[in-house]
Structure 1
Amino acid sequence: MGAASLRVGAVWLASTLTMLVLAGVLPDFRLQSASRDSATVIGITAAVGAGAFGLLSALVWPILVRALLLVPALVLGLLVFFLNGSLLWLALYLIPYGGGSTDPSMAVVVAAAMSAASSATNALLAIRDDGAYRRRLARVTGRRRRREGAALPPSTPGTVFLQLDGLGHAVLRDAVEPRENGEPLMPALAALCGHTHRLTRWRTDWSSQTGASQLGILHGTNEDVPAFRWYEKETGEVVVSNRPSSAAELQRRAVARTGERGLLAQDGASRGNLFTGGAAQVALVLSVSARRGKETRSRAGYFAYFSDPANATRTAVSFVAEVVREMVQSTRALLRRERPRVGRGGLYPFIRAFATVVERDVVVAAVLGDMLSGRTAVYADLVGYDEVAHHSGPRGRDTHQVLRRLDRSVALIAKVAERAPRPYRLVVLSDHGQSPGETFEEAYGLTLEDLVRAGSGLQVPRRAGRTASGSEARAAARAALHRPEDSGQEAPRKPRRDTGPVVLASGNLGLVSFPDVPGRMTREQFEERRPALLRTLAEHPGIGFVLVESEEHGPVVLGSGGSEHRLATGEVIGTRDPLADFGPGAADAVRRTAGFPHTADLMVNSAFDPLTGDVHAFEEQIGSHGGLGGEQGHAFLLSPLELSPPAEPGAELVGAGAVHRVLRRWLAESAEPRGRTDPRPVRGERLPAAPRA
């Protein structure tokens, strides 16, 4: 009680001094009346104002944040400054004497500075107060486990699975190697590699993206997930993996296929993921974000974090700094005429800041709370690197800054794991990598949809028609359809319904569907209805291969020069296998996807340069994933040496489903009873000094 009172007094004093300093340097903020109050009155005014502000923050702030749960999380983050300023203005208004006053804009600045000062003071005092440190992190998550029952926590280890979204195996290897200054880019992960953990590469499925990988990792199957987004003919709808309704449906289908709830069904927590993994404790999970109820809505995690005004202020300041950082970096890239490059204006700076700051802070705080609550299994996703790499490239200077901050998050989680009430094993992994390269449109002047329409004999925009690719495709289509060579008009349509194609992109993987043809359109139907399309696509220099179903040969991969790979038999027609450049296992990956019920009529994979590792994304990304080719298909597992190896010596770990089985095995190993030989303290013992966050 005495320590708590001392801490409250010190925070109050820091806030009072901060208010006095700001009143002296800011022109529109004052703590005295026009009659020039004495120094004593000014000091009392500052103390009362600081106390009122602190009291209002403690009492009113959680209510305000809870009321704003219906507001989108990004908007909630932007409202932090305004709410803090409003509380300060109200605190000054409630002072019964003195002359404290400020205008609304200045109140925002003063409130932010006071919150930052009180947060720093509180954190400094809590370093030696282990109970306060534990309680502060528990308050961040908003969940306390009941402490009644067994006096001792479980002696078996808990497991934290930390996913670094989009971080490929090769990029991680470079990041943990010493640089010119002798220090690695990610020192915390470098300290794990080869010392307490083993680094294992695993190969993703086709497609290599979070929707398929995370569904397979958490629920054991990603069957019938051909891409990040795809068209389903029977419903006429586009399924998008990061859409709440789609994520919920994909999770439902996976559970129905496996008959199991998922990886985290036993006392698990899912944080910042697309899917729950069967966890009872969820926050910021997309597949349940549309459900009603505080515990299942994705915004509940934001309430748990932002209910602490110090957290809110710190994250809001970092958010603004990240927006400014992105604007500066984008401008610098533009002035230097860096290539490849994509547009980074509009809302992107705010989207980047949300992914790299807000979501990271909330997810890390939730994981820390889970460990201090003794949760058995936690799976969390940090998405910042993936978001920035799409726009800045997988190995750019911008992404290096993000990796440094992610490494600090890993270090904090590892330190808190050492002080948790039960031992914890930290497994760091990724869901896919990223491959660099200029976009398809930047390289060839037209989009994949333009090329498909031109090869189908349909109208295309003038800009696309004037490109070499567009004009050649239109000429080939006119010749195949026996249309006049110089005619710019389409021939009269046949009586049957003939709608345009649905063309979707998932990184460097394109999906082409024709809604007017029920079921999957076959090669023979293409040759009858759109005779120029298949060769137009297969012969294009920006396309590596095209997958189509044949009535005679089953799934067939088409390449340039008339080459074919008949997947059912493995027979290769022509001088070169169209899958040769895509590495071992490419044929197996494509064959598996070809058997999915919702595979598109045409699956188009961009060209891949084995020398540079470059691909061509069919969307606005210079770091992409989703198809085959390069580093996007190689993710990593960084696992403790005390766990069994992920795969047999010399064997390769292939597919998200295989990773799921490995993680299940590790959870089973951790659940095995053992004597308590771990030196870490149990509940009731004094904890070591808490780490500086």
Structure 2
Amino acid sequence: MRWHRVAERRWHRAGSALLRVIVVWAVSTLTMLALAGLLPDFRLQSHDGDSVTRTALTAAWGAGAFGLLTALVWPLVVRALLLVPALVLGLLVFFLNGSLLLLALRLIPDGRGDADPETAVVVAAVMSAVASAASTALAVRDDDAYRRRLSRLATRRRRRSGQPDDDASCPGVIFLQLDGVGHEVLLRAAKDGVMPTVAEWLSDTHRLTPWRTDWSSQTGASQLAILHGSNHDVPAFRWYEKDSGRLMVSNRPASAVELQRRAIERTGDGGLLTYDGASRGNLFSGGADQVALVLSVSTRRGRANRSRAGYFAYFSDPANAVRTAVSFIAEVGREIRQSVRARLRGDEPRVSRGGLYPFIRAFATVVSRDVVVAAVIGDMLAGRTAVYADLVAYDEVAHHSGPHSRDAARVLESLDRSLALLAKAAEHAPRAYRIVLLSDHGQSPGETFEGAYGLSLKDFVRAGCGLPVSRRAERSKCGAEARDAAGDALRGALHRREAAGDPAPEAGPGSDPVVLASGNLALISFPDVPGRLSREQIEARHPALLGTLANHPGIGFLLVRSEEHGSVVLAAGGVEVPIAELADDGPLAGFGAGAADAIRRTDSFPHVADIMVNSMYDPETGRVHAFEEQIGSHGGLGGEQSQPFLLSPVELSPPRADGGDLIGAEQVHHVLRRWLRECTGPQIPVGAAEQGTPVRSSDSVDMT
């Protein structure tokens, strides 16, 4: 009797699957017939005409051939194109899908199917979308089939990993990083109805905790520490290392590989995700075995590199590919329209949004989002223990439109819809999930340094050194003042040396400074001199430089090393404070609690620049001046950029048991690791800091 019931269920499942295939085929056939009637360059009849029945059979043949080719050929084509850049792959979607339709029409007997290439692209796109919608609707109605699929996925995953079946009784954890969304921005978006999903979580199931970034308030430093437990010797987004002559840039693959290697070497630990983890859309892997769109493994070749697997998993479904490609084109058009409106309205501040930027924005807000969200849903359906995913859309748009702009608010709306989708998918996963929302930094608004003062910081530094600058910089008021000050200081130095009988100072070849911008933080290095130059050495070479920088209204303070007092902070009006005596007032007034400690920590890094420059900050308006083309920026101290958030389920313990402030991304790493242990038990190893390894005093955190 039991065997009879099992056989009956199997026949029922087979019948249901066959019925779904027939329904989707019928819907595709009707769609093809409708398109043949609407599009003049698409036909399903012979030139002499056919009966309605014959035309319907031709459409059914064509729809079936297109469906089979899509199911069999498309995944192979996408896998063959995995080495193609994602941006190019998105643009090839229409061409590939149209080519499959033309091939399907060639398979219709008696040559009754024909279409122009342009028309084939349209027909293929519509048919893929309709077939996907029909298939999804049927699957949603069949709850039993959906649950069986989830169960099979979970069972396969457990068998591959060797985990016991009772793992599903332990909740998994999804860490979703909303790149660049500050604490205040999230609160405002929830209050104003821009993010209703977040608002619901705030009112019911989650607690919101702000935390403070390090001086380097950017993704490279924050995410490295969050995933790997250390961001030691990461002074900025980009910096110059004199000992190796290497320029490090956090979002370059070679630099990401090296930064991850250094962090693992320092902590002795593989990362947050080493136990059954997945890393999606991140700069670093976190030790995860399952990776997709992860920069630090993107340069690997062969089977060891699965970072592009996320693209294959997503684009192997032609309906996904078409939907994302259509959204991509729509987003490019939206950006162009919004940019034109901003110019016509005369919005200020404003930066250039032409060139490739519309396509870069569309990739961040559409392609990356869709692939990462789909990958996370797949991770939940597979029952993985820990997932960390980065959604970069808001950060990219806020840089160019402003963190409080309508453009950025539209992106927050779309991100909230993605959160709702992920929460819904979690309800159907084979195990319970705790969803933790967090950010790596915020963004502070403000006009660029160049926009406000007519010259870039690089030109200003060169003028202060008495070096040639562009004509535009020469004509600017600040450039002229810096050049004149440099000339007067150099003449005074020469006069003093001549009077004392000392030789004149010579900068020598290769003495041009390296000036690198990281939001409103800048690093100035003199590559021809090994080691970190002292204040006295800098003033001997360029007598006016430090004073000119410190007294500029667009600059808040400098950090340099002094032979007499150790490292010092310099500010306008001749202010000079040794960092041992530095407090969150004086030259740092308004930059926020913990600013002095953050500066002292960075000063201890081996690759801190000869001169560290932080822009001005206006506490009343929240404005800073980015040293690159960004009207929403982060990277230094000042305002919302230093105030990200943690939004965690109330079932998890508070981030700090004592209710104190959460300071630095390394502390966040230990909190997330503790939460993983609370959910999954002792499988998650104890971190180095929790074993008693010394950490900086400002990072002490209660792990109970």
Instruction: Give TM-score, length-normalised by structure 1.
Output: 0.92
Q: Give the deviation of 1:569 after TM superposition.
A: 3.1
Q: Does 1:116 align with 2:125?
A: no
Partner of 1:520: 532
Among 561, 564, 572, which residue is 1:560 paired with?
A: 572
Superposed CA deviations along residues 199-241 of structure 1, whole A, max 9, x for unmatched, are 0000001100000000000000100000111111112121111
Q: How many residues align?
A: 659
Partner of 1:298: 307
Distance 1:223 1:571 in 2: 22
Partner of 1:24: 37
> SS at 1:201's partner residue?
strand
- The 3 A distance-change label for structure 1 pair 468 and 259 is same
> SS at 1:162's partner residue?
strand
Distance 1:71 1:407 in 2: 30
Distance 2:205 2:175 in 1: 16
Q: Is the 8 A contact 2:153 2:381 kept in 1?
A: no
Partner of 2:488: 479
Superposed CA deviations along residues 492-519 of structure 1, whole A, max 9, x for unmatched, are 9838434211111111111111111111
> SS at 1:194's partner residue?
helix
Partner of 1:683: none
Distance 1:95 1:395 in 2: 55
Instruction: Report 1:448-487 matches (<5 A).
Output: 448-482=457-491
- The 3 A distance-change label for structure 1 pair 106 and 586 is same
Partner of 1:167: 181
* Structure 2, unaligned runs of 5 or more: 1-13, 495-503, 683-704
Among 640, 645, 661, which residue is 1:652 paired with?
A: 661
Superposed CA deviations along residues 88-121 of structure 1, whole A, max 9, x for unmatched, are 0110011112521111111111100100101111
Q: Give the deviation of 1:571 after TM superposition.
A: 8.1
Distance 1:32 1:140 in 2: 44
Q: Give the deviation of 1:298 after TM superposition.
A: 2.3
Distance 1:350 1:495 in 2: 44
- The 3 A distance-change label for structure 1 pair 528 and 195 is same
Q: Is the 8 A contact 2:235 2:605 kept in 1?
A: yes
Partner of 2:56: 43
Distance 2:406 2:152 in 1: 36
Distance 1:136 1:295 in 2: 28
What is the letter of the counterpart of residue 172 of structure 1? L
Q: Give the deviation of 1:133 after TM superposition.
A: 4.3
Q: Give the deviation of 1:400 after TM superposition.
A: 0.9
Partner of 1:125: 138
Q: Is the 8 A contact 1:290 1:297 kept in 2?
A: no
Superposed CA deviations along residues 527-576 of structure 1, whole A, max 9, x for unmatched, are 1111100011000011111111111111111100011221023389xxx8
Q: Does 1:189 align with 2:198?
A: yes
Instruction: Report 1:288-687 matches (<5 A).
Output: 288-294=297-303, 296-482=305-491, 494=506, 496-570=508-582, 577-672=586-681
Among 260, 263, 283, which residue is 2:269 paired with?
A: 260
Return 452-461 or 91-100, whichever deviates more.
Answer: 91-100
Q: Does 1:240 align with 2:249?
A: yes
Return 3-12 or 388-397, whichever deviates more.
Answer: 3-12
- The 3 A distance-change label for structure 1 pair 72 and 495 is closer
Superposed CA deviations along residues 578-631 of structure 1, whole A, max 9, x for unmatched, are 111212211111111011011111111111111000101111111000000000
> SS at 2:302's partner residue?
coil
Q: Give the deviation of 1:374 after TM superposition.
A: 1.1
- The 3 A distance-change label for structure 1 pair 496 and 323 is closer
* Structure 1, unaligned runs of 5 or more: 486-491, 674-693
Partner of 1:78: 91
Partner of 2:104: 91
Q: Give the deviation of 1:36 after TM superposition.
A: 1.2
- The 3 A distance-change label for structure 1 pair 651 and 317 is same
- The 3 A distance-change label for structure 1 pair 450 and 193 is same
Q: Does 1:107 align with 2:120?
A: yes
Distance 1:92 1:138 in 2: 39
> SS at 2:55's partner residue?
helix
Q: Is the 8 A contact 1:553 1:568 kept in 2?
A: no
> SS at 2:236's partner residue?
coil
What is the letter of the counterpart of residue 221 of structure 2? A
> SS at 2:208's partner residue?
strand
Q: Give the deviation of 1:642 after TM superposition.
A: 1.0
Partner of 1:681: none
Q: Is the 8 A contact 1:209 1:227 kept in 2?
A: yes
> SS at 1:446's partner residue?
coil
Partner of 2:260: 251
Distance 1:503 1:363 in 2: 35
- The 3 A distance-change label for structure 1 pair 99 and 135 is farther
Return 113-122 or 143-152, whichever deviates more.
Answer: 143-152
Q: Is the 8 A contact 1:437 1:616 kept in 2?
A: yes
Q: Give the deviation of 1:296 after TM superposition.
A: 2.3
Identical pairs, percent: 70
Q: Give the deviation of 1:132 after TM superposition.
A: 4.9
What is the letter of the counterpart of residue 439 of structure 1? T
> SS at 1:97's partner residue?
helix
- The 3 A distance-change label for structure 1 pair 549 and 484 is closer
- The 3 A distance-change label for structure 1 pair 499 and 15 is same
- The 3 A distance-change label for structure 1 pair 404 and 137 is farther
Q: Is the 8 A contact 1:294 1:300 kept in 2?
A: no
Q: Give the deviation of 1:129 after TM superposition.
A: 2.3
Q: Is the 8 A contact 2:459 2:473 kept in 1?
A: yes
Return 270-279 or 26-35, whichever deviates more.
Answer: 26-35
Q: Give the deviation of 1:649 after TM superposition.
A: 4.4
Superposed CA deviations along residues 647-672 of structure 1, whole A, max 9, x for unmatched, are 13441000000000100111111123
Q: Give the deviation of 1:137 after TM superposition.
A: 8.5
Instruction: Give TM-score, length-normalised by structure 2.
Output: 0.91
> SS at 1:69's partner residue?
coil
Distance 1:69 1:397 in 2: 35
Distance 1:139 1:671 in 2: 22
What is the letter of the counterpart of residue 513 of structure 1? S
Distance 2:157 2:297 in 1: 22
Q: Does 1:199 align with 2:208?
A: yes
What is the letter of the counterpart of residue 406 of structure 1? L
Q: Is the 8 A contact 1:454 1:477 kept in 2?
A: yes
Distance 1:313 1:146 in 2: 34
Q: Is the 8 A contact 1:553 1:566 kept in 2?
A: yes
What is the letter of the counterpart of residue 580 of structure 2? A
Distance 1:495 1:187 in 2: 60
Q: Is the 8 A contact 1:283 1:295 kept in 2?
A: no
Q: Is the 8 A contact 2:223 2:284 kept in 1?
A: yes
Distance 2:28 2:336 in 1: 33
Return 152-161 or 398-407, whichever deviates more.
Answer: 152-161
Q: Is the 8 A contact 2:27 2:134 kept in 1?
A: yes
- The 3 A distance-change label for structure 1 pair 133 and 622 is farther
